[in-house]
Structure formats: structure tokens, C-alpha cells
């Protein structure tokens, strides 16, 4: 095992949603150290212009690079949409894994009628990242922006009548379009999968960008020879640009005991 493979995997999200990616990575790669950064001081990214999202994402990735990570996981659909190309040009020697293409490939492979729905933030929808990722597949892509989903999750609300009412308004048009596969195009959304599945029905397959990103991370590290081969007692470090107590409290509520000892970090930029 080389020294490079012992470095942590860097995981970035605009807030809490990327914890679903981090948890999925830990489940697949329990011996790997991870370093998670949530830019909660500037979340949500979804309503922001893509240029600003790109700036914020690259600032966060620069910090992770400075911590000596062996790979970058952009666990944020909005961040991936805005900054993936720039990040790969900026860090040409580092594996960079994102959430969009793995989920698109999965959806294209399981759809039965070729009608794929994508629920996402406004910035992701405006970037047309999923349309581009699915352009070579014989499918129709129907996109629905769900601006209230992230605030619900980041308030710790994952069920209840109010959420169901909001979700029904977002999802009914997709039901009318007869989608049979639905991409959860934001890593916050797997935390709402119970409500989403309830509304869409059992015949609609949900594709989690978080789960597919974790599988892609495994495959990328394996191909690059960067997987740990020992029984390492993994170190999982969680950092945020916002309030660490708030982050840890919500993280524990949503993810159980997975999130602990959260640190606040300063990216050296203004909000």
C-alpha cells in the first residue's frame, strides 16, 4: 500500500445533503478516512447564479486540496453542474468524482418507457447537466425544480403534512408525464425519499445520486490504485463554514451517530 492511498477522501457539499454521499461511501469503503466540508455559511447554492456557485465550490475544493486529500468528491449536484470542468482543469492530477453522470447512467439503464424525471435545484436545472449527461441515450428528460426541498431538509423536516403538500405540487406534473424513473438530483433529496416514493408510487424507480456517486468513488479509487488495503481504523472528520453545533445537531438527527466532533473552518472569504 502506498502513502498516497492512506490520504483521506475529500467530500464537499454546500451543506448537509452531501452527508448522504459520505455515509454511502463509508458503507462501501469502511477503512477509508474521509474529510467532509459543508459550506453551510453560504447555503443554499440552488438559487444562486452559476458563476457564484462555481466560485464558492472552487474555494471549498481548494481548502480540501490544502488538507492533502487523495481524491475529491463533489457531493453537490449544483456544485458539480457549475464547477466540474473547472475543477478538473484546476486539479488535473487528482481524481474528481461527481454526482450527475453516475446517476444519469443508472437511470438510463433501468428506465422501461424512456421517460426519466429529474428533481433538482434551479441552478442544476439551468445548467442542463442531466440533459447533457443523458443526451446520448434514447430517453425523454423531464425536469422539475423543487426549491423548498433543501430548506425542509436543513430544518430537519423530512415528513409531515406540510412537506407532503409541497412535494405533491412538485411531483404531480411528473406523474402526469408518466415518468417511470426519477433521479433525485440533489444529495439532500434521499432524506426525503419516503415522501417522494409515497407520492410517485411503487412503479417509479428512484435513483439516488448519492448512492451512485459512492459506487463511482469506489470504482475510481480502485482503477487508480488508491484504495486502502489494510484494516484501518478510519478517521472521519467533519467540517463546516457555519455553526458547528448546529451542523452536528442536525447531522445527528438526520444521520444518527454518523456525525460527530464537527469543526468550524474559515475559507478566508466573505459570505
Write out the catalytic residue numbers: 76, 186
Nearest residue to 201 via CA among 180, 173, 229 = 180
- Give the integer Cα–Cα distance in Å for 239 and 248: 10
**244 near 219, Cβ under 8 Å?**
no
Block residue for cell numbers 453542474: 81
Grid coordinates given for 96: 474528481
Q: Are 228 and 5 in contact (CB under 8 A)?
A: yes
DSSP labels, 202-223: TTSEEEEHHHHHHHHHHHHHHH
Which three cell numbers, joined as nine digits, stand for 216?
Answer: 463511482
- Partnered with residue 184 across adjacent β-strands are 119, 208
Residue 191 DSSP label: G
Distance CA 82, CA 57 (A): 8
Judge contact between 103 and 212, C-beta under 8 A: yes
Grid coordinates belonging to 247: 451542523
d(CA 228, CA 218): 11
Rounded to whole angstroms, the Cα distance separating 271 from 268 reads 10
Strand partners, 74: 12
Amino acid at each position: 500500500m502506498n502513502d498516497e492511498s492512506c490520504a483521506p477522501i475529500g467530500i464537499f457539499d454546500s451543506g448537509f445533503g452531501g452527508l448522504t454521499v459520505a455515509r454511502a461511501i463509508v458503507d462501501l469503503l469502511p477503512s477509508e478516512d474521509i474529510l467532509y466540508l459543508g459550506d453551510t455559511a453560504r447555503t443554499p447554492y440552488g438559487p444562486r447564479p452559476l458563476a457564484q456557485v462555481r466560485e464558492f465550490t472552487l474555494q471549498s475544493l481548494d481548502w480540501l486540496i490544502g488538507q492533502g486529500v487523495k481524491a475529491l468528491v463533489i457531493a453537490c449536484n449544483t456544485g458539480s453542474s457549475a464547477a466540474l470542468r473547472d475543477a478538473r482543469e484546476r486539479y488535473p492530477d487528482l481524481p474528481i468524482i461527481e454526482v450527475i453522470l453516475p446517476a444519469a447512467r443508472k437511470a438510463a439503464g433501468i428506465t422501461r418507457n424512456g421517460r426519466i424525471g429529474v428533481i433538482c435545484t434551479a441552478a442544476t436545472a439551468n445548467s442542463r447537466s442531466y440533459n447533457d449527461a443523458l443526451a446520448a441515450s434514447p430517453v425523454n428528460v423531464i425536469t422539475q425544480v423543487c426549491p423548498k426541498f433543501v430548506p425542509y431538509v436543513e430544518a430537519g423536516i423530512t415528513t409531515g403534512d406540510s412537506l407532503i403538500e409541497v412535494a405533491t405540487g412538485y411531483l404531480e406534473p411528473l406523474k402526469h408525464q408518466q415518468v417511470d424513473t426519477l433521479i433525485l438530483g440533489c444529495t439532500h433529496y434521499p432524506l426525503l425519499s419516503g415522501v417522494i416514493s409515497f407520492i410517485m408510487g411503487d412503479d417509479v424507480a428512484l435513483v439516488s445520486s448519492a448512492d451512485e456517486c459512492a459506487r463511482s468513488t469506489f470504482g475510481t479509487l480502485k482503477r487508480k490504485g488508491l484504495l486502502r488495503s489494510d484494516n484501518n481504523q478510519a478517521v472521519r472528520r467533519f467540517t463546516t463554514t457555519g455553526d458547528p453545533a448546529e451542523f452536528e445537531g442536525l447531522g445527528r438527527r438526520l444521520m444518527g451517530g454518523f456525525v460527530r466532533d464537527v469543526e468550524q473552518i474559515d475559507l478566508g472569504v466573505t459570505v
